[in-house]
Amino acid sequence: MKLFTALLARDLRLAIRHGSDSLAALLFFVLTAALFPLAIGPAPETLGRLAPGIVWVCAFLAALLPIDRLFGADFEDGSLDQLLLSGLPPAAIALAKAVSHWLVTGLPLLLVSAPLASMLRMPSTGLLALLLGLLPGTMVLSLLGMTGAAIVLGARRGAILLPILILPLATPVLIFGAAAPEAAMSGLSVRPHLLLELALLLASLSLSPLAAGAALRHAAD
């Protein structure tokens, strides 16, 4: 546990030192969502109905921006080999990377989502459901992104392959996440959608670190 905490603290310090990556993802999230009213019109009814999907798609795209740096810098300077020799299991190394990505990228996106949804004229009845869905949903995106980054590590044109690899896996997260606030705005129960989000989180939490750890061992070899 001490090694895991030390690795997490190291990654957080590096993320703070290179804060421009997180800031770029946050600005991309806001600016991309702000373009939708220009494209579909400023009608409050239309924007409010599309707001959950807009927020989710923009959050997914923004979370992908810094994902290739999760292992890339450590792989290039040899730090990854040192981490694999530190005694910490590869799956735990991958999990620490995913946690650090969520803290510096997923959490800021979650905090900005509420004012952004209000800007898109989303009814207040669906705002809580949107945030409750984004909480496990952004964690799943971090886990999937971490797995994809480990799989394409060292591959040619890995930055191009990464979104192609992650997008099909993230589709259920986007579907259930956007469906929860829509159900709340329609007066329906959001419980099934949120439970499915939690089920996806548990599945990703149990499988993604193992897959990423195996990919890290293969890249190191």
| Tokens at 100, concatenated | 């650090």
CA distances from 73 to 104, 190, 200 (A): 17, 41, 29
CA distances from 78 to 16, 72, 151, 155, 200 (A): 21, 10, 17, 16, 33
Which pLDDT does position 210 carry in this prediction? 93
Mutual angle of helices 69-77 and 127-151, in 10-degree steps: 30
Checking if the pLDDT of 20 tops 80, the result is no
Averaging pLDDT over each range in 12-16, 71-75, 92-96, 191-195, which range is the top one? 191-195
Checking if the pLDDT of 202 tops 90, the result is yes
User: What is the pLDDT averaged over residues 153-160?
Assistant: 72
Which pLDDT does position 211 carry in this prediction? 92
Count of domains observed in the chain = 1
Which of 20-29, 126-135, 195-204 has the lowest average pLDDT? 20-29
Cα dihedral 201, 219, 162, 83 in deg (nearest 10): 50
Identity of residue 192: P
Instruction: With cut-offs at 50, 70 and 90, classify the pLDDT of residue 179.
Output: very high
What is the residue-averaged pLDDT of the chain?
87
User: What is the pLDDT averaged over residues 179-191?
Assistant: 92
User: What is the pLDDT averaged over residues 169-184?
Assistant: 92
Instruction: With cut-offs at 50, 70 and 90, classify the pLDDT of residue 164.
Output: confident
pLDDT tens readout for residues 86-139: 888 889 989 998 999 899 999 999 999 999 998 888 988 999 999 999 999 999
Do residues 35 and 157 lie in contact, with contact meaning Cβ atoms separated by under 8 Å? no
Rounded Cα–Cα distance for residues 176 and 154 (Å): 33
Question: Between 157 and 149, where is the model more confident?
Answer: 149
DSSP H helices, the chain, are 2-17, 19-40, 44-64, 69-77, 79-84, 90-101, 107-119, 127-151, 158-185, 191-220
Give the three-class secondary structure for 41.
coil
Averaging pLDDT over each range in 32-46, 64-78, 135-149, which range is the top one? 135-149
Structural domain of 84: 2-220
Instruction: With cut-offs at 50, 70 and 90, classify the pLDDT of residue 16.
Output: confident
Which pLDDT does position 196 carry in this prediction? 94
DSSP 132-182: HHHHHHHHHHHHHHHHHHHHTTT-TTHHHHHHHHHHHHHHHHHHHHHHHHH
Alpha-carbon Rg of the chain, whole angstroms? 18
Those residues whose C-beta lies under 8 Å from the C-beta of residue 11, and which sit 6 or more positions away, are 96, 97, 100
Which pLDDT does position 158 carry in this prediction? 65
